[in-house]
Amino acid sequence: MPCSRNVLFEVEFLLMLDEQIEMYVQYIVRQGITMEILYLFLGALLALAGGVLTHHVQMHYSRIKEEENVLLDVEISLLEIGALGDRLGNLDKESVLLQTKLEINECKSEIAFHLQRLHLYAIRLVLNQNRDIAIKTTKYALDPHLRNEQNRYDLLRLVQKSINPELIKQYEDQMVKNPEKF
């Protein structure tokens, strides 16, 4: 019977070992599910953070593009005001011809229209890098005593530098080196 006692002891030991292994496997399965849930949650959190980051970057670049479009509109209006001013300067203000008076009034009306648009464009310039341009555009559009050819030229220069600073710098460098060469 001593042999059956050893066998019984070994069977009990194996059963106890089997129960421990089963409990350990269940623990691992539970931990594995917990880890899977943790990984799933972490993945969802990373995806959400990536989406938010992408949205903010896209909005930033969208604002920059919109700002560049507004700057182009400011430049066009400034150029139009200059062309209309030249046309107005070439007209004889003392003329009694109805056609000439009509052209003078038309030029003044178009200049007023572009000045009003400049003020509206200035409001749409929101980036800090263009704050100075927005302020000067507003001053030019609203204050008649600041509305002269030199201020228009300076403002046009600021707008062009903001749109394409590399090109303006290269142009200025070439004009300093040899202003007569085309």
For tokens 């009990």, what's the residue? 12
- Non-local (6+) Cβ contacts of 79 within 8 A are 156
Residue 73 has a pLDDT of 94
- What is the number of H-type helices and E-type strands within the chain? 5, 0
- Position 5 pLDDT exceeds 80: no
Among 77, 62, 73, smallest CA distance to 127 is for: 62
Between 162 and 19, whose confidence is greater?
Answer: 162
pLDDT (tens digit per residue) in 73-112: 999 999 999 999 999 888 887 887 888 889 999 999 999 9
pTM reported for the whole predicted model: 0.69
Measure the CA–CA gap between 17 and 74, rounded to whole angstroms. 84
pLDDT (tens digit per residue) in 109-140: 999 999 999 989 999 998 888 999 999 999 99
- Position 34 pLDDT exceeds 80: no
Domains of the chain, by residue range, sit at: 64-177
